[in-house]
Structure 1
Amino acid sequence: MIRFLKSRWYLILSFLIPFVIMTCYFWYRNMAPFGDQSILTVDMGQQYVDFFAYFKHAVTSNPSSFFYSFSKALGGEMVGLWAYYLMSPVNLVLLLFPLKQLASGILLVTVLKYGLAGLSFAYLLYRKSNTQVHLIPAWATMYALNGWIIANQLNLIWLDGMIWLPLIVLGIERIVDTHRIRTYLISLTAMLIINYYMAYMICIFAVLYFAYYAVVNWQGLKATSQNIGRFAGTSLLAGGLSAFFLLPTYSALLTSKAEYTVTNVKWQFEYNPINLIGKFFNGAFNFDQMPNGTPNVFIGSVAIITFVAFFFLRTIKPSQKIAAGLVTAFLLLSMCLKPLDLFWHAMQFPIWYPYRFSFIFCFWVILLGNRAFNQIHELKQWAKMIIIAIIAAGIIYITLNLKQFNNFLTTENIVIGTVLMIAAIVLVFFGQPSKAFSAAMIVLVIGEMGYNVFSSLNNISYVTNPNYVNYTTNLKRPVDQIKASDDSFYRIGKTFYRTKDDPFEANYNGGDHFSSTFEKTMPQFMENIGQPDGDGFTEYSNGTLLSDSFLSMKYFLNASNPDSNQYLQALTTKPDLNQYNLMRTQHNVQTYRNQYALPIAFASSNQIFNQNRAVDPTTYQSTIFNNLIGRTYQHRMFTPINFDSSTFVNVPRQSNLTGAFLQKKNLLKPAHMMLTFTPQTNDSYYLTLGNAINLGSSQNSQNVKIYRNGVPLNQYPTYRNTVIVNVASKDKGKPITINVELTKSSVLLQNFTLYQFHNQDFETQVKKLQQNPLKITHFNSREFIGTINIHQKHQALATTIPYAKGWHLLVNGKPHPIKEWSKMFVGADLKPGHYSIKLYYWPPLLTPGIIISLSSIIITIVGWQWLKKRKSR
């Protein structure tokens, strides 16, 4: 080991420099474990940390949830989520950290990936370049701390692409140079399994790089054709080896991301291509660049100078320059031309974090710069002057047009960037190889790349660690108490939240979810029943007594006094909780038991298989309930009623509220509408709100504020369709005042209707449905085993398991067809009788994927043995 460390010190240093720089930055920002801040921000804090918590639960205590989980909204496949978010082997480090210290574990994983990216690039240079070993750490640092990885470190799931890309390129070069396929096969297979999304982009570049390298190292038509065969065959073999994972992932994508594929796009530039120059300055990144900025391609002064020099070196063949120029042009156009940008993103424009493939451009530029640097002594003086003039022109353009870039560039960035560029020009063009030169080179690179880290990331805010830890503690404690007292299947709702993936964080079955691999049918169903939803997310915040019942929401957690606990952010107003049984109050969290909750599977009318038409949420919920109990659609569980009185201030009086357009008479004065009703029963009352009534989280998006009896109405602000809001329960004879305050000049009262719910009818019918459940004897995340009695004709097995092709049903040990009901759930027709039931989930295409992977392993072993014998002859 000592001999290895001494002989490979430059590889160790290539890992340590970016590792230490990033660790120092996180220490400077007081991030856990160094302080009370955390590395959690944006998607890292809103998605990934919850998935990492799920990763720990799945690996250590619940492996059945690898394929399927009821923490994913009402339930969903998990292979697609693993394939996109969780397959990095570096994640195993997280198993060493308890949940309370998960943010510290994520920080360690992050800095490890920075270090591994540097190590990987250093290994490529060590094996396939003439770079002096003491300069390898400098080039590795340029790569490991480029602008893309700094801007996207919060997307920790993508960083493995930077680790494996240099190894895949090394493998391609070995195919051409030595006809050996092992490096390419292993590295590409690993990348395909770790993250198919980044692998897709790398595969595109692999084709480009193979073509480039084949041209540069032209060996004749026959040899090149053989290399093409080796490259294509090895690529297919890598796909075969990873088929056990890729095929189920492909099936999952067909119901999630693939649903949003763009097929028609105009050929136009997304911005002025010359403006990309601005991103070559350090610090050219801030929060505003995340949603729709230009590509983050900062690579450092040395790489820029030597990359331009590549095309002026006489020692580099014209064919190589032309090939490199074509690849460069394609990459540059891809970062500004819509159709090419779309192609790199698998035919889906990114929602936030644009130009996700630009790490490939950074790699390409740094690699060519490195290969030019090794021949820089051959550069003529006139060429140096031209290069200096080109770089100066770029600096002058940005300086003169700084107003175009002032949303992410400052004068300080320009001045410091220019000074560092001058220092790099002097060092690269006029320095002489020596120990002092090498030391100066490393110091310059560390200083410039390190400054970019600080100046870029200082523009980003992060979640405090106590905010995450204390919220998780407040959520997990009552969940664990529920689990300790009830081992049946149920779902849990709540009136407070931190993220839409809280169920993953605390390991319970819920109704919320947010991810890029979310099945499209779930948000559509949630929209139909009046819940906030969007592309890739749903939030079960607006449950009614009816939806809570048929969705098995057996328990509810409520923040009893959110004002006294800063970590429990109010999600929804839910007077309905007084209809449920209060079990306990502990640490400002009340736990309620819903006595009306239906089991996950039960006998119902076969009328559930009739087609439902989404008219409005109240009608849709009524239809579901009527179908379950087998009565006509005309029976409404929700009845629209009028308000008793209304007062309009600074807006015209309206006789019909639903669809009315309120506009301030005097724009300078406050305006509001006050509505009052007095419930004549103890029933529940609900108010529907269309998406034109915007309770947005920011003043820019918000157009109204709504108060119930003077208290702000809590409502998850992002909803794109009509939602149902609970405004009264057990309030007979008590006046309820709804005050709608305009925060902008006008508002459309879209679908603004008050409804009375028929509690007594609901309770009577629910008790009937509860009498004939599937008596579950065993269940886990992907399997339910039990017995059920079907007493009458025209009955069916109804479940609230989301329908998917992977679900299979065995009735008395024999396969039985399943049917979809309400365009959402698994059901089955059954004749009267007593049945043993087994419902289990097996990911679609997993079996053929396993067969293909096993076949590929056999082919690999046989081929390797054949080659071994052939060489020994």
Structure 2
Amino acid sequence: MENKQYPISKTLLPGLELNLIFFILCGSAVQVIFGQQHTLFLLLRLIYTPGIVLLAGLYTSKDDNNVSFLLKHAAVYAVLFIFFGLCNQVLLNHKKPFQSVIRLVTMVKIPTPSEMFFTAAVLFLCAGLAARYVDRIYKRKRLLILAGVLAIAFAFFPSDIFGYPIIGVFTGCETYDCIALLPYLGYFIGGIFLGKENVLFSKKISVGSLVVSFISAVLLFTPLKEAALITLPAFPVYLLYLLAGLFIPFRKLTEGLLLLGDKGIAVLRGWYQDFMNNRRKALPLYFAVYTITFVIMTACVFFSFIEYDNSIAWMHDAISQYIPRIHYFTDYVHECISLLLKGDFNFPSYSFRVGLGNTVPLSYEPVYWLFALFDSSHVEAAYNIITIFRFFLAGLSVSVFFLYHKKGYFESLLGSMMYTFCGFAIYAGVLHAHFIAPMIFLPLLMLATEEIFRKKRWYLCTIFVAVALPANYYFIYMSTLAMGIYYIGRFLFTKDRDKKTWKYFFTTTATFAGAYLLGVVIGNISLFTSFASFMSSGRAGNSEIAASSFFDYGSAWLTRLYTYFISSPGSPGAWLKLGFIPFSYLAVVILFLKKGNRLIKFLFLICAASCIFPIAAFVLGGFSTITNRWCYILALLVSFITVRAIPELRGLTRKELKTLFISLLPYLLIILMNRDYRTEFTLASLAILLCNYVVILCMNKELHLINMHTSKAALIFLCCASLTLNAYYQYFEGKNTSPTSFAKQGHVIDEITDTPMKVLNNYPDDSFYRVSTAEIPRKNLCSSLVMNYNSIATFSSTISGPVIDYNVGMGNTAWNLVQLGGFDNRTFMNALACVKYYALAKDELSALPYGYEEVPAKKDKKSPYGIYKNNYTLPLGYTYDSTITEKEFYNYSALERQELLLQTAVLDDEHVQLPKKTFVPTASEAKITDYEAKGLKIKKNIVKVTKPGATLTLSFKGMNDSETYLVFDGSLNPTKSNGQHMVNLDLSCKDYKRNLDFRSSNHTYSTGQDTHLFNLGYREEAVDSCTITFNNTGRFSVDSLKVYCQPMDNYASYIKELSENKLEDIQMHSNTITGNISVDKEKLLVLSIPYQKGWTAYVDGKETDIIKANVMYSAISLKPGEHDVKLVFRRPGIKASLCLSAAGIVIFIIALIIRRRRIKMNK
């Protein structure tokens, strides 16, 4: 035999592998482009499968200790399998990506052409396991002959006898379409033979393979076709083997590629070693790696949004308030810049587009001002980009925190990903994007606290507080408590005796307090604006407790707390969003296994107690409600515990490893034994938790099954996999975060402007007026900010106290504590609010109040909506010649009050009163003559609803030409003693229908009113029945249920009298309203402007007091005669705030100069 001997070169086997991959990719391309599936099948049969099996044999024969190399090959092919399978499912078959990944990983679906890579992965895995035994078999001729006989026998092995891919990869099966491996065992043995004998070219092998292929080609036309297909590729595969070894250009190409790969790997290895060894020059590299990792993780975490073509715009708050405000903000900033360039510094501070009229909404969070870089037409893209950027900053901030505490780059990277995409972030960050701001500032504030304790850079505290306070005073309050607890713990548990003295404590405390207060002085603007608005709103002092006790959440709370510590979207409740990575669970256990670390243990126990007792949530929530939005603080602590645990993993003793395993058992038992907690996402968390334990076990220095670098790679992979799965389940089946909870990509503005108001542009009108529609959905509450009209609706967490008092007093049912959805189409209330136009769909005419008639469009455009003009519109300013006190006003019923306000003004008791007028209410009760209950039982004042859709139909005798009201006196509440509950009702009266949500009295957003007036619409002819549909089961308390009718006979005369002397020639400019009026006697000019601080009135050039009238409106007292009226608005508190900030900055600079001089003197 003439053989050309060679040592197995570095290029031969990689060259053969490149050939095989090239051929199979060409076949796949032909299949995709031309649909020629038989081409790919032939390449699989004749080239790839026998070739890859031969290659596995060649690799296996190289070295008995070649296990690591073969296993790495298996991993590479596994990644290729996932990649090509995902491309096939998503790009070609248009399947959902995340579902496709899960099906691929669980091997439910092995799509073409990725199955060949799956085959290769299994092949090299088996080769790696068998590598150590190959040499023994080869040296024993009998075993080698037996293997050859088996190989021939397997060529005749029947396929399709097994049904699962992991077995079918060897034998073939129905669910696994790829060619089976076992029949090709002969090629594996052949590869071992070629490798062991160092045979590149042999006449005998060449002739033998040619003869085998020829005979196989003949046998294709016999019953032995299946076996012939196995042996037919013998000669083509051998030719490919020779090509890789003898064809010089190909060898050079392979050598070049390998050389390039080696250089790249060497560079990456150097970077990696710098990164792992914490070298200073690797710091820029860390932030580069962090950025790349963040981009990858962002794509994984938010892939559900791409998958469902969603924007990161929550249909509730983002669509209804955040994005409209941003849209308004971008236009506002651009307008201010334009004014500035013209030398005009009178920037607008008030707008009637904000609810009934309010201060221009601004945010002082630094990141928020990045929206000004975008045009309002790109507001959706801006919102998505800046939301993601907030996440990026949170991770960057916590990275600085970890590196400051001298944690490794790897540990800091893992901790930053964990913190950035924790349960609180992926939940709150997409529902309320600004909730990420405290996650950005908290690590910096904690860093500043540590600096003060070390008596170093105190000014960091001032800077961070000055920036964080304007961003959100609510979260800075929580962060301040965390800073204080950490500072006290730092003193109590410090090991430095010099720092554990009362003198040191009081001096550093004084520095801490001074630095913090100086930051508050500099960043005080939110205290004069946002916080001041909150204090004057109805939410201040509205403390409702949705728990039976300050010290007990309920019996199942602790189990939920324990179970959902490492899984999302589950949550114990009350905004306690945890969802940490499973490794964090082990890190916490390790913390308490080791001695020392008393400060961290102290902080963790405080956080644990805060999770257990409702009183902690009440205190941390600002004494307003029980909410655990502080859990971002826990996220930082758990992330730090996780980071510090990584270096200790290799040194765990056997006893600690056993204790660590025992700590898994409670979680294991809860998940497996309790069906309520045995869900897909908890099982996934359990699997990753066990994998983390296996990695810790393998990396232990005593066992040393894997090296440190491999173990770290496994840990970061498991961390990213956990975060990805948490996000997937959160955005797939989580409460408020399912795919239907977000607006579709490119349709955010469409959702906001999806209202009949869109036709207003066809009806130009230069006068001041407000508009409304039959029912204002939540998503349209702030559409006026986008569509430029004056509304009577708004969505704001700081609705002013007078507005709230007015709606409570009127028994309005179209609102709650943060949302004003109009005035329930009530004719009298709309008139007092200067509503001039109604925009309605053609099928909503039953909701049209009295006195409106359709007007033709001034532009010739067809629309499904019509505009209806109020024939009895009140102007911006109208007058009264009589008044009563608020005390007298509240002696009347809610229904009588609305009619009373059309006849006489209501003033605070301390103001000078005009003559009183006799008031005779015209509303009357329509006696309920009968009722019919279906699906519910009524006993005294308790309604028991046994099934959803239960109805209560009331029969009564109504009145002609009147509005009909259904009146609930008292509260409509579930009879449970605790918890926040919603009651959903449908009301119908002839063709009038309306859906309503009621909140229990202890609900965070409950209005707290005792009377609810449901307007059933105006009718010329009397109605005689109405139906209430209960969409929730349960027991509800109803104190009183009556029907009233409000006739419209006197309405026109009321409006005429109020309009007799009105404000005319009204001009509106930036922050200024002017007009003139003539009165024949002393009267009260009531302005349809909500009462608030900031307005100054001038009558005939003299400043005049503005008083609160009609509960929520503004008023000016006028003497007889003609008057010029001027109203000027200045943002309240802004001057004092700017002066304080300027003074604080001056003090700060002086303090820095003094500090610098002291440092120089000490040197």
Deviation at 1:344, TM superposition (A): 0.4
From 895, 911, 924, the equivalent of 1:640 is: 924
Aligned 8 A contact 1:637 1:757 in 2: no
CA distance in 1, matches of 2:986, 2:996: 14
Matches within 5 A, 1:43-442: 43-61=317-335, 67-77=349-359, 82=362, 86-95=363-372, 102-131=379-408, 133-153=409-429, 154-177=431-454, 179-214=456-491, 215-216=493-494, 218=496, 219-220=498-499, 221=501, 222-256=503-537, 257-261=539-543, 266-271=549-554, 272-273=557-558, 275-285=560-570, 292=573, 295-314=576-595, 318=596, 321-350=597-626, 354-390=627-663, 392-399=664-671, 402-403=674-675, 405=677, 412-413=683-684, 415-426=686-697, 429=700, 434-442=708-716
1:490: which partner in 2?
Answer: 769
1:762 aligned residue? 1051
1:479-499 deviation per Cα after TM superposition (whole angstroms, max 9, x unaligned): 7617x8334432221124331
Give 3-state SS (helix, strand or coil) of 1:497's partner: coil
Q: Distance in 1 between matches of 2:654 and 2:487?
A: 33
C-alpha distance in structure 1 between counterparts of 2:948 and 2:532, whole Å: 54
Q: Partner letter of residue 643 of structure 2?
A: N
CA contact (8 A) 2:987 2:995 kept: no
Distance 1:587 1:662 in 2: 44
For the pair 1:553 / 2:553, whether they are aligned, the reply is: no
Offset, 1:124: 1.8
Aligned-partner SS, 1:722: strand
The 8 Å contact of residues 785 and 837 in structure 1, kept in 2 or not, is answered as: yes
Q: Which amino acid aligns with 2:967?
A: L
Say whether the 8 Å CA contact 1:75–1:802 is kept in structure 2.
Answer: yes
**Matched residue SS, 1:801:** strand
Give me the whole-angstrom Cα distance separating, in 1, the residues matched to 2:950 and 2:1059.
Answer: 54
2:447 & 2:1040 partners in 1: Cα distance? 60
Paired residue secondary structure (2:830): helix
SS at match of 1:690: strand
Q: Please state how far the C-alpha of 1:164 moved relative to its aligned partner.
A: 1.3
User: Quick one: distance in 2 between partners of 1:642 and 1:688?
Assistant: 10
Alpha-carbon offset, residue 678 of structure 1: 7.1
Question: How far did 1:397 drift?
Answer: 4.5
Normalised by the length of structure 2, the TM-score is 0.64
CA–CA distance in structure 1, aligned partners of residues 982 and 963 of structure 2: 30
* One-letter amino acid of the structure 2 residue matched with residue 757 of structure 1: P
Q: Distance in 1 between matches of 2:447 and 2:464?
A: 9
The DSSP-based 3-state class of the residue aligned with 2:551 is coil
Aligned pairs for 1:567-606 (under 5 A) are 573-576=846-849, 579-584=852-857, 586-606=862-882
Q: Tell me how far 1:144 sits from its aligned partner.
A: 0.7
Q: Deviations over 1:711-735 (max 9, x none)?
A: 3523544486322425334x3xx56
Distance 1:534 1:329 in 2: 38
Please give the alpha-carbon distance, in whole angstroms, between the structure 1 residues aligned to 2:682 and 2:531: 48
Q: Residues 373, 614 of structure 1: CA spacing in aligned structure 2 closer, same or farther, 3 A cutoff?
A: farther
The alignment status of 1:607 with 2:886, answered yes or no, reads: no
- Deviation track 1:771-809 (CA, whole Å, cap 9, x = no partner) reads 43223554357542333333213x122112222233332
- Whether the 8 Å contact between 2:590 and 2:645 is mirrored in structure 1 is yes
Which of 953, 962, 967 is equivalent to 1:689?
967
Partners of 2:949 and 2:635 lie apart in 1 by 53
Give secondary structure in 2 for the equivalent of 1:161: helix
Change in 2 beyond 3 A, CA 1:103/1:426: farther
Equivalents in 1 of 2:973, 2:601: separation in Å? Answer: 52
CA drift at 1:619: 0.6
For residues 848 and 616 of structure 1, do their structure 2 counterparts lie closer, same or farther at Cα, with a shift above 3 Å needed?
same
Q: CA deviation at 1:525?
A: 0.9
Match of 1:707 in 2: 989
Per the alignment, residue 937 of structure 2 pairs with none
Letter of the structure 1 residue corresponding to residue 516 of structure 2: S
Determine the structure 2 residue equivalent to 1:567: none
Confirm or deny: 8 A CA contact 2:776 2:822 kept in the other structure.
Answer: no
339-348 vs 432-441, greater mean Cα deviation: 432-441
Deviation at 1:627, TM superposition (A): 0.4
Q: In structure 2, how many angstroms separate the alpha carbons of the residues matched to 1:491 and 1:774?
A: 16
Q: Does 1:728 align with 2:1009?
A: no
Q: How far off is 1:160 after superposition?
A: 0.8
Counterpart residue type for residue 426 of structure 1: L
Output the amino acid matched with 1:418: L
Q: Does 1:792 align with 2:1065?
A: no
Deviation digits for residues 287-346 of structure 1, max 9, x if unmatched? xx6xx35722222133332333234445xxx4xx33322222211111221222111000
Specify the code of the residue in structure 1 equivalent to 2:384: L
Q: 1:821 to 1:11 in 2, by over 3 A?
A: same
Answer yes or no: is the 8 Å Cα contact 2:1108–2:1114 preserved in 1: yes
Quote the residue 1:478 is aligned against. 758
Q: Is the 8 A contact 2:528 2:1134 kept in 1?
A: yes
Alpha-carbon shift at residue 473 of structure 1 (Å): 3.8
Aligned length: 819
Aligned CA distance change for structure 1 residues 49 and 616 (closer, same or farther; 3 Å): farther
After superposition, residues 658-673 of structure 1 pair within 5 angstroms as: 672-673=953-954
In structure 2, the residue matched to 1:865 is: 1153
Contact map agreement 1:637 1:758 (CA 8 A) in 2 = no
Check 1:210–1:399 CA distance in 2 against 1; reply closer, same or farther (3 A cut): same
Residue of structure 2 equivalent to 1:752: 1042
In the alignment, residue 689 of structure 1 is paired with which amino acid?
V
3-state SS in 2 of match to 1:211: helix
The counterpart of 2:810, out of the listed 529, 536, 551, is 529
Would the alpha carbon gap of residues 608 and 424 (structure 1) be closer, same or farther in structure 2, given more than 3 Å must change? Answer: farther
SS at match of 1:508: coil
1:191, CA displacement in angstroms? 1.1
Q: Distance in 1 between matches of 2:828 and 2:399?
A: 61
- Tell me: CA distance 1:199–1:573, structure 2 relative to 1, closer, same or farther (3 Å): farther
- Could you say which structure has the greater relative contact order, defined with CA pairs below 8 angstroms and 6 or more residues apart? 1
Contact in 1 for aligned 2:521/2:1141 (Cα 8 Å):
yes
Evaluate the alpha carbon distance shift between residue 54 and residue 301 of structure 1 in structure 2; reply closer, same or farther with a 3 A threshold: same
The 1:619/1:429 distance shift into structure 2, 3 A limit, reads farther
- 1:592/1:101 CA distance change after superposition, 3 Å: farther
RMSD of aligned C-alpha atoms?
4.0
Whole-angstrom CA distance in 1 between matches of 2:753 and 2:819: 24
Shift of 1:141: 0.5
Is 1:245–1:846's contact at 8 Å kept on the other side of the alignment? no
2:487 counterpart SS class: helix
Kept after mapping to 1: 8 A contact 2:473/2:531: no
Please give the secondary structure, in 2, of the residue aligned with 1:686: strand
Percent identical across equivalent pairs?
A: 17
Query: Given the superposition, is the C-alpha separation of residues 825 and 65 from structure 1 closer, same or farther in structure 2, using an over 3 Å criterion?
Result: farther
State the distance in 1 between where 2:1093 and 2:685 align.
Answer: 56
* 2:832 is the counterpart of 1:543: no
User: Which whole-Å deviations, capped at 9, do the CAs of 1:718-768 have from their partners, x for residues lacking one?
Assistant: 486322425334x3xx56453436668999694532424234x32234234
Do 2:1091 and 2:1112's aligned partners in 1 also have CA atoms closer than 8 Å? yes
Alpha-carbon shift at residue 193 of structure 1 (Å): 0.8
